[in-house]
Structure formats: C-alpha cells, structure tokens
Amino acid sequence: MVNTPQEQKRKAALAALEVIESGMKLGLGTGSTAAFMVRGLGQLYREHKLNDLICVPTSVATRNLAQEQGLPLTTINDVDRLDLTIDGTDEFDPQLNLIKGGGGALLREKIVASLSDRFVIIADASKEVDQLGRFPLPVEVVPFAWKTVARHIENSGIQALLRASMNPGDPYKTDQGNYILDLQTGGMPDLPKMKWMLEGLPGVVEHGLFLDMADEVFLGKEDRVERITKTN
Ligand SMILES: O=C(CO)[C@H](O)[C@H](O)COP(=O)(O)O
C-alpha cells in the first residue's frame, strides 16, 4: 500500500513521538502534520506512557488542540528553555534549512524553536526540495506599514502578495494581529542574503526562513518514514 500525503504526515508525526521522554519541556508546532503529533502525544500522555510533560504551543489552534487532548500547558514566558520542539514545515533543503509559516504561525514557531535544545521536523515527501523557494516565503509585517514593506520587497524584483483571510476583502491576521506577505521568490540561491534583506526592513516582524535551526527531519514517504539527521 502506497502512503497518501496525509498518511505520510501522520506516520512521520507518530514516528517522531519516539524522541519524546517523560519529564521533557516540549514545544508543540502548528499545522496539519503537527496536529497528528499533538493527538498522538495526547494519547501517550493519557495512557501514562509519557509523564511529567510541560508543553508550549506555537499557536492558538495548537493550544486549543493540546487542551482538548488534556496535555499540560504553559507559556513561553514561563520557561527558560525547552528540551525539544516538534513542528511541521513547508519546505526543507539538504542542509535542513526551512521555509515555514504556510499556516501563519512562523513568529511563535521561531521563538519556540530558538529556545529548544533540539528541533525536530515532521513532513510529507512533498516538502523535500533541492533549493528553498518554490513555496512562497511568508513574511509577517505590522499592519501599519505592510504596503511600505511590500513596496521595498517589490523594488528588489520579488512579488509580495498580502495573504487573504476567509472573509472576502479582509487580510489574514496572525495570532499576534499582524499581516503576512507571501513572497514569490521562485527559488533562493542565496539564503543568507534574503534573510539579511528581510531583517533589515523596518516593519518586518519575522520571516519564514529557518536557517540552520532544524536538527532532524522525520520524512513520511510513499513506503516508509525516513529519518534525516543534519550533517555539520
Ligand atoms: O509552518 C507552519 C505553520 O506556520 C506549518 O508547519 C507548515 O505550514 C506545514 O503545515 P502542514 O503540516 O499543514 O503541511
């Protein structure tokens, strides 16, 4: 039986649960793959196969799901560091650099990942690329200056589309009340240059390039889950 993309996500998410140990402080990612992980973790916790966990969710959606699962939650302000964060991704390259933020949670995801000793990614096979950038790069911007930021980016030749919400005419708003620009880069041969450009723009709150952060990927494939560890 060939795994569908949904099955690839589910199997990768459940395989990654093996790196969780009792007593850990955990970051919980956002998205459909992370949701499989949170449900699986909830089950292990309720069955007392994992105990004494403390979890920091990376979005309101994940907090709600984790609450439903009965997982013990805290906020990022109440921990100094985390043992492990498990999260999904929109793309990853051979160096395990990532594009994240397709689900709009990049800001909290990056903060939580940056406080984690280990950052594990769960993904279906479509997320593996040779070069980042086929997926639009999400950039979180303050509503006050979204057009200014978009104009700056477009002046460098990259189209920056304001993400729309479900309500026709309304922009999508992040959990922090910001907007998202989706950058149509078409491929980013120079990732540090893109990162540097975005971080130099006033009005940019965060961007979805996660460079040199992930330690490992659990990759769901058609016939198995592959574990890819970062080589330094
Ligand atoms: O970065 C994210 C949310 O901000 C998600 O991890 C990313 O969009 C992948 O989502 P999915 O697991 O649904 O494919």
Q: Is 31 in the pocket of ligand 1 (CB under 6 A)?
A: yes
Alpha helices in the chain (DSSP H): 5-16, 32-46, 60-68, 106-114, 146-155, 191-199
Q: Is 32 in the pocket of ligand 1 (CB under 6 A)?
A: yes
Structural tokens at position 50: 């994992």
Q: Bridge partners of 54? A: 25
**Shortest-distance Cα residue to atom 9 of ligand 1:** 89
N-to-C CA span, the chain:
35
Structural tokens at position 23: 């007593």
DSSP of 145-202, one letter per residue?
GHHHHHHHHHHTT-EEEEPB-SSTTPBP--TTS-EEEEEE-S--S-HHHHHHHHHTST
What residue type is 174 in one-letter code? T
The 10s digit of each residue's pLDDT in 140-154 is 999 999 999 999 999
Say what angle helices 5-16 and 32-46 make with each other, to 10 degrees.
40
pLDDT reading at 232 higher than 80: no
Q: How much is the pLDDT for 38?
A: 98
Please give the Cα distance from 108 to 52 (Å, whole number).
23
d(CA 204, ligand 1 centre) in Å? 20
Q: How much is the pLDDT for 18?
A: 98
Choosing from 21, 68, 109, 140, the catalytic residue is 109
- Any catalytic annotation for residue 222? no
d(CA 125, ligand 1 centre) in Å? 13
Q: Which residues make up the CATH 3.40.50.1360 domain(s) of the chain?
A: 5-129+211-229
pLDDT reading at 227 higher than 80: yes
- Domain covering 5-129+211-229: architecture: 3-Layer(aba) Sandwich (3.40)
- ipTM for the predicted complex comes to 0.98
Q: How much is the pLDDT for 204?
A: 98
Which candidate, 9, 158, 33, places its Cα nearest to that of 87? 33
Q: Is 62 in the pocket of ligand 1 (CB under 6 A)?
A: no
Which candidate, 214, 206, 185, places its Cα nearest to that of 86? 214
Please give the Cα distance from 141 to 162 (Å, whole number).
10
Pick the CATH number of 137-207 from 3.90.1150.10, 2.60.40.420, 3.30.70.260, 3.30.360.10: 3.30.70.260
d(CA 101, ligand 1 centre) in Å? 6
59 is in an annotated binding site: no
The 10s digit of each residue's pLDDT in 158-199 is 999 999 999 988 999 999 999 999 999 999 999 999 999 999
Q: Is 100 in the pocket of ligand 1 (CB under 6 A)?
A: yes
Query: Taking residues 79-102, what's their average pLDDT?
Result: 98
Q: Which residues make up the CATH 3.30.70.260 domain(s) of the chain?
A: 137-207
Matching residue, tokens 């964060």: 85
**Mean per-residue pLDDT over the chain, rounded:** 97
Place 1 in a pLDDT band, splitting at 50, 70 and 90.
Answer: confident
